[in-house]
């Protein structure tokens, strides 16, 4: 098993994408999932980091052009060129891509990351990345790779994989119609801690909240019918991270468990209290004080 692999992409031979459309898709959604040929390499496993290397003799030239993560074990399938031929494939989620023409050129790669034999990588479908090459490759991608969409956002591939926790988010959580129904019913305060972005930040926080699927995405089948009210709940990013933290897709914390954890830690729910509620609390306090007298 390898921690990272270089995937060769020759636009003239395999994966003939509408590459510009793929780059726009990644910029807009964060990922592009595709089946990727790895020749006869059966040793690539799910979770392996993938670096995309542009090959061939196109006008764009060659060089490092993308980053992603392998999402499946290697599997055998019929080759597109004919039913009599088979090849090995993996599913890859590409999360950062450079436009054609802006790839990191082989001479820059060789100078910055000499632990990789780039002449071999340019001629092969897959090449394992030596552990010694990992820091230099990340520094190079940080300096020459795509810019982050937001100032505080890190570009995928610029930090070690074990330095962060991954939150699995399924397509329902990004579905605007389902999200709208969920928030119309539950409101936009966090269902676990009660935090309200609108209350804390004013107009810029209006409507801002994560939406979380209470059933782990890995347990949902393709025919699953979503109930936006029963299946989705609003969570602030902190609580959303804690729901997913500490376990795999099948062992998420429930919102109820998170509330108990927050309560046990001695924290009060950060709810917005209305004037009527404040008056009721004041009346209750006066009544209690009167009884004590």
Distance from the first to the final alpha carbon of the chain? 76
Q: Is residue 43 part of a domain?
A: yes
Is residue 86 within a helix (H) or strand (E), and if so which, with residue range?
strand 86-97
Nearest of 262, 265, 269, 242 to residue 253 by alpha carbon: 242
Question: Token pair for residue 192?
Answer: 């676990």
pLDDT digits (tens), the chain, 293 positions: 467 899 998 887 765 678 888 888 888 778 888 888 887 777 888 888 999 999 875 566 889 999 998 888 888 876 555 555 677 888 898 989 999 889 999 999 999 999 999 988 888 888 999 888 988 898 899 888 887 665 546 677 776 665 544 434 444 444 567 788 888 888 889 988 889 998 888 888 888 898 888 766 555 555 566 677 777 889 998 988 888 776 544 467 788 888 888 887 765 444 455 566 566 666 666 666 665 54
Q: Is residue 223 part of a domain?
A: yes
Q: Is residue 283 part of a domain?
A: no
Parallel, antiparallel or unpaired: strands 232-235 and 75-78: unpaired
Same domain? For 137 and 12 the reply is yes
Q: Is residue 51 part of a domain?
A: yes
What is the reported pLDDT for 67? 93
Same domain? For 132 and 247 the reply is no
Same domain? For 141 and 179 the reply is no
What is the reported pLDDT for 150? 56
Q: How many residues does the chain have?
A: 293
Same domain? For 144 and 176 the reply is no
Same domain? For 134 and 235 the reply is no
Same domain? For 118 and 184 the reply is no
Question: Token pair for residue 189?
Answer: 């305060």
Q: Is residue 143 part of a domain?
A: yes
Same domain? For 131 and 265 the reply is no
Same domain? For 25 and 130 the reply is yes
Same domain? For 136 and 270 the reply is no
Same domain? For 175 and 150 the reply is no
What is the reported pLDDT for 169? 42
What is the reported pLDDT for 111? 93
DSSP-based helix, strand, coil % in the chain, nearest 5: 35, 20, 45
DSSP state of 114: T
- What distances in angstroms separate CA 82 from CA 78, 86, 87, one per listed residue? 7, 8, 11
Taking the C-alpha atoms of residue 150 and residue 101, their distance in angstroms, rounded to an integer, is 23
Of 130, 156, 182, the domain-final residue: 156
What is the reported pLDDT for 167? 39
Per the structure, the complete domain to which residue 212 belongs is given by 171-275
Q: Please, are residues 93 and 26 in contact by the beta-carbon 8 Å criterion?
A: no
Tokens 């890995």 found at: 218
Is residue 112 within a helix (H) or strand (E), and if so which, with residue range?
helix 106-112
What is the reported pLDDT for 194? 87
The three-state secondary structure class of 272 is coil
Same domain? For 182 and 263 the reply is yes
Q: Is residue 282 part of a domain?
A: no
Number of domains forming the structure of the chain: 2
Q: Is residue 10 part of a domain?
A: yes
Q: Is residue 42 part of a domain?
A: yes
Q: 103: which residues sit within 8 A by CB, 6+ positions away?
A: 54, 60, 61, 62, 63, 64, 65
Same domain? For 150 and 246 the reply is no
């Amino acid at each position: 098993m390898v921690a990272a692999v270089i995937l060769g992409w020759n636009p003239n031979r395999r994966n003939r994408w509408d590459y510009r459309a793929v780059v726009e898709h990644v910029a807009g959604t964060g990922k592009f999932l595709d089946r990727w040929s790895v020749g006869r390499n059966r040793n690539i496993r799910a979770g392996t980091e993938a670096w995309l290397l542009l090959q061939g003799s196109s006008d764009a030239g060659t060089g490092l052009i993308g980053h992603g993560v392998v999402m499946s074990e290697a599997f055998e399938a019929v080759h597109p060129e004919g039913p009599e031929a088979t090849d090995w494939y993996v599913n890859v989620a590409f999360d950062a891509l450079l436009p054609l023409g802006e790839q990191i050129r082989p001479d820059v790669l060789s100078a910055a990351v000499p632990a990789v034999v780039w002449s071999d990588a340019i001629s092969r479908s897959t090449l394992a990345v030596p552990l010694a090459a990992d820091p230099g490759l990340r520094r190079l991608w940080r300096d020459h790779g795509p810019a982050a969409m937001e100032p505080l956002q890190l570009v995928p591939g610029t930090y070690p994989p074990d330095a962060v926790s991954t939150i699995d988010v399924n397509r329902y959580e990004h579905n605007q119609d389902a999200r709208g129904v969920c928030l119309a019913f539950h409101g936009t305060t966090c269902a676990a801690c009660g935090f309200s972005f609108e209350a804390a930040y004013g107009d810029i926080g209006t409507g801002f909240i994560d939406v979380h699927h209470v059933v782990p995405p890995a347990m949902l089948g393709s025919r699953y019918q979503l109930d936006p009210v029963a299946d989705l709940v609003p969570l602030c990013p902190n609580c959303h991270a804690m729901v997913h933290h500490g376990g795999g897709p099948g062992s998420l914390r429930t919102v109820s468990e998170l509330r108990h954890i927050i309560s046990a830690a001695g924290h009060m729910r950060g709810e917005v209290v209305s004037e009527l509620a404040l008056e009721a609390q004041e009346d209750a306090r006066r009544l209690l004080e009167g009884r004590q007298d």
